Structure 1
Amino acid sequence: MVNKLVYSWITLIILLSDFSLDTIQLIQGMPMQGNTESKVYGEKWRPQYHFSPPTSWINDPNGLTYSNGKYHLFYQYHPDSLVWGPMHWGHATSSDLLRWENEPIALYPAPGGAAFSGSAVIDSTNITGLQKTANSNVLVAIFTRSNDSSPTPQTQHLAYSYDGITFNNYENNPILVDPSKRDFRDPALLKYGDGYIMSLAAGDAAMFYKSTNLIDWTYLSSFGEKPSQGSHGGVWECPALIRFEVDGRELWVLLISINPGGPTVGSATQYFVGTFDGTRFINENPADRVLWLDWGPDNYAAAMYTNIPSPKPTMVAWMNNWNYAANEPTTPWRGQMTLPRSMELVKTSDNDYHVQTFPIDDVKNLRESLLYEFKGEPVTESLAIQHNSDRYHLECSFKSNRTSFGAVKIKLMNQASSEQVTMNLDNLRIEVDRSQSGLTNFSSDFTKLIRGSRILPSPQLSVDLFFDSSAVELFYDKGLSSFTYLVFPTQPYDLISIECTDCTISSLSMYQMKSIWKNDS
């Protein structure tokens, strides 16, 4: 009843706003007439093959799971504003992790607080005791309720769904409380043995709990604060534990999002490589070593899918930055997600490991046509590609003329306005300059030089660039180094220039990408 009342209140606010009837229907997940989604999703700078909501503010991806042939993407959502506010869980579903259908809002603010981040799993064996009938799946979401006026401002709650769409709040919420912690949020669930591990962010630490029924939780250990580990430039958020096997050895990665304190500005996601024995995570690197999941400023709150058919861990992140997200020029939506990425742990030397992320293989299914191709002949150190596409995948390979790599500069530009973004790799140093990329005056932080590093000093180099209206995902060496960032060109870029120093272009393919919102693509 509370959800229905809140839902009606939100609908009234939307009806009194400037949103069109088509847009209101999309927010509510109603059936659409004709090709309405392609109309709503046709605005300036609107990504066409990255997920974004029809309208309003989004941030962290939540509750990523798979059930009955559908991938679920829940996300932090403020349905009646373009800036952050009382958090709901927005919801979309997909059969392939690429083409999304907007669903009704899943979770709402309640007397216990707003619906902050969390995760979801499928209870197929009735460990919760919440199944309606034998062998029926229950989608279980565990998330943080946040209420600053409460003596325990952040507590963990459970909600469950029989159809994956409509949720019921568990009658004995909250299921986990720690009165000593003001920052106590973002539970991430991991199946482990005959139960589950929960990772929680607690200010400057990650805390681990275990349960055999998803309701009663026992504290195990904490990591990060004593001794201090990694970056503590800001509060720790959105932890996630991921298991890997590398050369017959079990290793674990712990993701920690941090805000502020990123390598360029504002928010970012760091990770640790180590061991986990079911109780404690131990970092195998020096405590002060910082590893970044993505060097770009617009990749935050990475979350992992549970219960998926793919053997590879799969993540999605919020494609934005807390330092300027509220001031960006997009309307009627504000925020988008990265492409779903597969994650691997790669051994880069005798005792060193790095996380590699790259769009899932099925992203190739979004290729619509081949726009340009170069097969290496005649040998050249430069190319200039004129085009009229605002959504494409550029796939390149290079070969150095020496044992270490030289330099590659890739520039996207509009020839009439001279707006441009430059991506420059020089040996192991990588810089992205978007200071002249278009509209930038909404934040001085947006124009800061983006710096990062190449991990492997190989004479061979691959570069993949996924461009989508305003969203850019750039991968060197198939994601051993990645840079996620936004641009807002006032006129579409129509020229790609590539220049090599002490290297040659081995191959290049440029593919037009389909729109996931247009039925005619």
Structure 2
Amino acid sequence: MIATSRRADRRPTVPCSPPERPGLHFTPPQGWMNDPNGLVHFDGEYHLFYQYYPDDLVWGPMHWGHAVSRDLVSWEHLPPALVPDEQGMCFSGSAIVDRHDTSGLFDGEPGLLAFYTVHREADGDPADYVQEQCLAYSRDRGRSWHKYSANPIIAGPGFKDFRDPKVVWHAPSRRWVMALACGQTVRFYLSDNLLDWRLASEFGDGQGRHTDGPWECPDLFELPVERSSEGAADGEPATRWVLVVGVGAGEQDAFGSFTQYFVGHFDGERFHNDHPAETVLLMDEGRDFYAVQSWSDVPAEDGRRLAIAWMNNWLYANRIPEAGWRGAMSFPRELSLAATPEGVRLRQAFAGEWRARAAEAVKVDTPERPLAVGRHVLLEGGARSAHGRMVLELTAGASVSLDLQQGGHQALELVADEAGVAVRHRRRGQNGDDEFDTHFPHDQAVGRLAGRRVELEWLVDDGSLELLLDGGRVSLTQLSFAQPAGRPLALAVAAGECRVRTLEYRPLKAVPRPKS
């Protein structure tokens, strides 16, 4: 919805302190981190590359940081895969398995290819730069990388913002497709050999949401559509294509950077939007879910589309509290498509690997009677990292505020009428930096839920709170600099009544610190 308002709040300020290392979320070993890129699965390992500047705590000359995992939770840090050189910095991109040596770079064996944007300034002017698409390859399971000698594989087109190549295989046309962010559109390029590319089409002019900032980090994938009795009619296609794009923060936009998506059809050359051009679909209604990317080459028997996002916002990214490192990723998500009365929509779930870290559930007795006006503590104190699930039923006219171990830093506000529930989110916090203190606090409308039954699922961890509502149809991801351990889980009823139908809470065991 992106409808942010600021209501007067005369309560004492809430200080934000440097976070502890999160127990569940990926962070860099030191220095600065932003976009995930190059996500690929190969030989039993998930590879996570990311925009990385190891020498400072703010954005700088971009490297590709690198880590691998077999379970999406425990990560092993590897040396940076790509580092700046005379061609420029190494901006975001994607990676694939060249399974049949289509590129001819692997002597007939499978290998890894990384497509990235090289960025270089002209005459030392940060506002004047060239961006081109380049290729690197690895013959040893991603442990060492070699830049292609004939780079760039796509030269700059004469305008500045030309970046973040996402390469996918389009089986019906038996060709490779590259989606590229170009200003405020996405261009699609085609290739038979992964080395030579031609422009096929462009999408985005007048479509969805635009700000003063550029479009970034496109992703493109196909998913089956899950049907329901209230969903789309029989005879419609069983799958849809999803085009994801990050939208950079505009100078006059109080919300900052965000991620939108389009649902439609891709014929191998052009993307066709299923919805009216003015329709805006957000992957996340929170402030801190950006540069979303999905893993390529996940085994077919797994059957999941797995994605991850950078938990931050360019309005304050360089100013959030730090502890020798700055930046974190969301917990990986499983993406699916659901048919709804409004059309086909993305649905998200936390990747099931969190369950391997789950301790025994904490017994929480749900109140037998509806909760009346007042503050109700549902759980006195919890864990630093935890998974929760709750179902609430509100009477018409009820007004409820949930504090999920945030100690007043954040609250989810629910207001019910006869038709449904209006959802708002409030966040407070200051750290003494003007840029952070201006943009980090907010009070924003999230949207409406049909009916007065509210399903919530969340992950709380040092540095973040991730919320899924309505079976994952609504996602709300927020940085948080509260210390969750020992904070109560509380529900305040300001009007009407609220019944807690179910409440499940599981502490999550700390992940061993990443190996370097």
Is the TM value for this pair above 0.5? yes
Question: Is 2:81 the partner of 1:81?
Answer: no
- CA distance in 2 between partners of 1:424 and 1:464 (Å): 15
- Are residues 440 and 110 of structure 1, via their aligned partners in 2, closer, same or farther at CA, if it must alter by over 3 Å? closer
- Structure 1 residue 390: Cα displacement: 1.8
- Structure 1 residue 285: Cα displacement: 1.5
| Other-structure match for 1:283 | 273
Larger relative contact order (Cα-Cα within 8 Å, sequence gap ≥ 6): 2
SS in 1 for 2:511: coil
- Structure 1 residue 296: Cα displacement: 0.7
- CA distance in 1 between partners of 2:212 and 2:277 (Å): 15
- CA distance in 2 between partners of 1:76 and 1:446 (Å): 22
Question: Is 2:117 the partner of 1:144?
Answer: yes
Aligned residues: 467
- Structure 1 residue 401: Cα displacement: 4.7
- Structure 1 residue 344: Cα displacement: 1.2
- CA distance in 1 between partners of 2:240 and 2:405 (Å): 43
- Structure 1 residue 243: Cα displacement: 0.9
- CA distance in 2 between partners of 1:89 and 1:410 (Å): 39
State which drifts further: 65-74 or 472-481: 472-481
SS in 2 for 1:241: strand
Q: Are the aligned partners of 2:93 and 2:165 in contact in 1 as well (CA < 8 Å)?
A: yes
Q: Are the aligned partners of 1:100 and 1:516 in contact in 2 as well (CA < 8 Å)?
A: no
In the alignment, which of 12, 15, 33 is matched to residue 58 of structure 1? 33
Residue-by-residue CA offset, 1:43-92 (whole Å, 9 max, x unaligned): 84321100001111000001000000000000000010000000000001
Runs of at least 5 residues in structure 1 that lack an aligned partner in the other structure: 1-42
Residue-by-residue CA offset, 1:161-218 (whole Å, 9 max, x unaligned): 0121100011111001133221100001111122211100001110001112111111
| Other-structure match for 1:5 | none
| Other-structure match for 1:338 | 330
Q: Are the aligned partners of 1:372 and 1:511 in contact in 2 as well (CA < 8 Å)?
A: no
| Other-structure match for 1:306 | 296
Question: Is 2:498 the partner of 1:503?
Answer: yes
- CA distance in 2 between partners of 1:337 and 1:377 (Å): 39
Alignment of 1:356-371 (within 5 A): 356-371=347-362
Question: Is 2:190 the partner of 1:217?
Answer: no
In the alignment, which of 450, 462, 468 is matched to residue 444 of structure 2? 450
Amino acid in the other structure paired with 1:480: R
- Structure 1 residue 251: Cα displacement: 1.5
| Other-structure match for 1:237 | 216
- Structure 1 residue 471: Cα displacement: 1.0
- Structure 1 residue 374: Cα displacement: 3.2
| Other-structure match for 1:474 | 467
| Other-structure match for 1:71 | 46
| Other-structure match for 2:134 | 157
TM-score (norm 2): 0.85
| Other-structure match for 1:17 | none
- CA distance in 2 between partners of 1:203 and 1:279 (Å): 19
- CA distance in 1 between partners of 2:431 and 2:311 (Å): 18
SS in 2 for 1:443: helix
Alignment of 1:369-384 (within 5 A): 369-374=360-365, 377=368, 380=371, 382-384=376-378
- Are residues 75 and 304 of structure 1, via their aligned partners in 2, closer, same or farther at CA, if it must alter by over 3 Å? same
Question: Is 2:189 the partner of 1:203?
Answer: no
Amino acid in the other structure paired with 2:358: R
- Structure 1 residue 286: Cα displacement: 1.7
TM-score (norm 1): 0.84
In the alignment, which of 238, 248, 256 is matched to residue 259 of structure 1? 248
- CA distance in 2 between partners of 1:374 and 1:305 (Å): 39
- Are residues 413 and 508 of structure 1, via their aligned partners in 2, closer, same or farther at CA, if it must alter by over 3 Å? closer
- Structure 1 residue 400: Cα displacement: 4.1
- Are residues 113 and 516 of structure 1, via their aligned partners in 2, closer, same or farther at CA, if it must alter by over 3 Å? same
- CA distance in 2 between partners of 1:508 and 1:169 (Å): 52
Alignment RMSD: 2.4
- CA distance in 2 between partners of 1:450 and 1:393 (Å): 24
Residue-by-residue CA offset, 1:417-444 (whole Å, 9 max, x unaligned): x643211122442222121588886431
In the alignment, which of 402, 409, 414 is matched to residue 410 of structure 1? 402
Residue-by-residue CA offset, 1:328-361 (whole Å, 9 max, x unaligned): 1112100000000011111111x51221112112
Question: Between the two proteins, what is the percent identity of the paired residues?
Answer: 34
- Structure 1 residue 96: Cα displacement: 1.1
Looking at secondary structure, tell me which structure has more helix per residue.
Answer: 1
Amino acid in the other structure paired with 2:409: Q
- Structure 1 residue 273: Cα displacement: 1.4
- Structure 1 residue 385: Cα displacement: 1.5
